[in-house]
Structure 1
Amino acid sequence: MKILVADDSRVMRQIVIRTLRQAGYSGHEVIEAENGKEGLDLVRSEAPDLVLSDWNMPEMTGIDFLSALRSSGSTVPFGFVTSEGSADMRARAEAGGALFLIAKPFTPEAFDEALAPVLKG
């Protein structure tokens, strides 16, 4: 299984990847994008099984990334890992087709709770 992690912070991408491992998802291939535009290109070229995206990124935000994916016909499972988890953001994420929003600071347990239905199907 291939997981795309999109975040403009290299450090945060590493934290997300480490948390994935801690949550028991260490056997998966992880690819990284620095923003939504790069993420969109990688979804098209790499066909990941799951996208984990930050919300606020340069060039293309996470919500715009999700919108572009859905309007292109992509149904790849998509979730947000972001520092903001307001009710409005959660509603926008759900309306856009995101499966979950994990707010920072997060735990391996929060990752497992959100990802288990997607990855363990």
Structure 2
Amino acid sequence: MTQTVLTVDDSRTMRDMLRVTLEESGYRVLQAADGLLGLEVLRDVVPDVIVTDINMPNLDGFGFIEAVRGDRRFAGVPILVLTTESSQSLKDRARKAGATGWITKPFEQSKLVDVVRRVAA
């Protein structure tokens, strides 16, 4: 069965790169341009993994993660943060909000796929 990954990022270029990378590795990819749109996608689907940026309009990654973690349906869904940010305080804040892991942009495509595979297993 094909696993589904929801990617949430305000950059169309980044969403496209994530989609191509993950689809080439056999994943079904759903996309959202910010946290609010990500929550709309989650009304209809429980993905196997969520990959989200932090710095986005309307609802940032921290708010998005907290909202997802506030819904029991997503308790077991890993959430990976993919961002240009690298400070330990932001990593700690993301973990406290409920993030599973952190990947810094720019990223190696093979590393991203490896991390998604690992957390989705």
TM-score, with normalisation over the residues of structure 2?
A: 0.87
Please tell me whether the aligned partners of residues 25 and 113 of structure 2 are also in contact (alpha carbons under 8 angstroms): no
Question: SS at 1:56's partner residue?
Answer: coil
Question: SS at 1:31's partner residue?
Answer: strand
Aligned to 1:5: 7
Please tell me whether the aligned partners of residues 19 and 107 of structure 1 are also in contact (alpha carbons under 8 angstroms): no
Superposition CA RMSD, Å: 1.5
Please tell me whether the aligned partners of residues 55 and 63 of structure 1 are also in contact (alpha carbons under 8 angstroms): yes
Number of residue-to-residue matches in the alignment: 117
Matching of residues 80-91 of structure 1 within 5 Å: 80-91=81-92
In structure 2, what is the Cα distance between the partners aligned to 1:109 and 1:87? 24
Question: SS at 2:25's partner residue?
Answer: coil
Aligned to 2:25: 26
In structure 1, what is the Cα distance between the partners aligned to 2:87 and 2:11? 21
Question: SS at 2:44's partner residue?
Answer: helix
Q: CA deviation at 1:113?
A: 4.1
| Alignment-mate amino acid for residue 42 of structure 2 | V
Q: CA deviation at 1:44?
A: 2.1
Runs of 4+ in 1 over 6 A off after TM superposition: none
TM-score, with normalisation over the residues of structure 1?
A: 0.87
Unaligned runs of 5+ in 1: none
1:77 and 2:84 matched:
no
Matching of residues 1-121 of structure 1 within 5 Å: 1-20=3-22, 26-73=25-72, 74-75=74-75, 76-119=77-120, 121=121
Q: CA deviation at 1:26?
A: 2.1
